[in-house]
Amino acid sequence: MTGGDRATPQPQRGQAGWQDPGPRDVVRDRQNPDLLTPPSTDAGTLPNLQFSFSDAHTRIQRGGWTREVTVRELPIATELCGVDMTLEPGAYRELHWHKQSEWAYVSRGSARISAVDQEGRNFLDDVRAGDLWFFPQGVPHHIQALDEGVEFLLVFDDGAFTENGTFLISDFFAHTPKEVLAKNFGWRPEQLDSIPEREKYIFAGEVPPPLDRDRVVSPTGDVPRTLTHRLQAQQPQRFPGGQVRIADVGQFAASTTICAALVEVDPGGMRELHWHPTDDEWQYYLSGHGRMGCSPARVWPAPSTCAPATSGTCRSPTATTSRTSATSLWSSWRFSASPGSRTSP
């Protein structure tokens, strides 16, 4: 049988190849059948185009955990990177900021987010599963889980970004002499004894009160446009093989550096062959199983099989396509880091 059976796949295609007697990881071979037995059109000269979050290091703290896929884990993904983060009820992702813009999708639960822009204007809102948020570069912000806890995907417009390198108030204060802090705030040094000795990053807390009771009146007012978007309230574009919701600047005006598409492909369906002349595409798979292929100039196609919590990248001007297995609805995000661009159709 070509490629062996499903229980023990083999690197065989027709009369080519032979059995693999081991040592081998059969589980990984089953997960990546198109790498073990690629189709005849595959030249095999592309860099790795996918990486599973299950293979990423998990940072565990009291109150939650996080893991990331950056250019370190997926070297071809130079334009975008992703972070998977979970917070228990009431826990915080500490107030922080970074020079990269931050796009987010809430996959489970709910959270309260806040931000203060460079003019001192406030933003505070609650987000739930299916919602998006966007923090422009340099804007301080924090995230707090509500009573369900929360899990969310973060996407940044720089493949080399790392969540472990964000600028934190606790880290800043921990590395500033107490006498300097006391003089800055007009306090006595002993009043600062409770300041953390190191960064907090993620920490446990109490579930906040209802949004209306938690609002802060800012003398400079609120931000001029919302930093959240209710994606599920947006009508999808429907096609014979599935549907798509596109969140570009036309639908989510605040998201000026990252646009995204939530693509749902029916069992056996296919995302049409296409390419992006100038923009890279970073993908994240939410559910189901499918096959993604890329074909850059002067190189034959290289397919790969993708499962949930897998990220993938195609560099411009690479042609790409996606299709599902016969039994599962395939739901995935497609991202571009070009201002105002679309992820098509």
The catalytic site residues sit at 93, 96, 98, 102, 141, 163
From 155, 152, 160, 163, select the one nearest 74 (Cα to Cα).
160
Q: Is 141 annotated as a binding residue?
A: yes
> Rounded CA gap, 184 and 198, in Å?
20
Q: Is 175 annotated as a binding residue?
A: no
Q: Is 102 annotated as a binding residue?
A: yes
Helical segments of the chain, H only: 26-31, 33-36, 169-174, 178-185, 211-214
* The two structure tokens encoding residue 159: 């493949």
Q: Is 274 annotated as a binding residue?
A: yes
The secondary structure of residue 178, as a DSSP letter, is H
Q: Which distant-in-sequence residues (6+ apart) come within 8 Å of 86 by Cβ?
A: 64, 65, 66, 149, 150, 151
Q: Is 98 annotated as a binding residue?
A: yes
From 291, 247, 279, 226, select the one nearest 77 (Cα to Cα).
279
Helix, strand, coil shares of the chain, percent, nearest 5, are 10, 40, 45
* The two structure tokens encoding residue 219: 């003398």
> Which residues are annotated binding-site positions for Mn(2+)?
96, 98, 102, 141, 274, 276, 281
> Which residues are annotated binding-site positions?
96, 98, 102, 141, 274, 276, 281
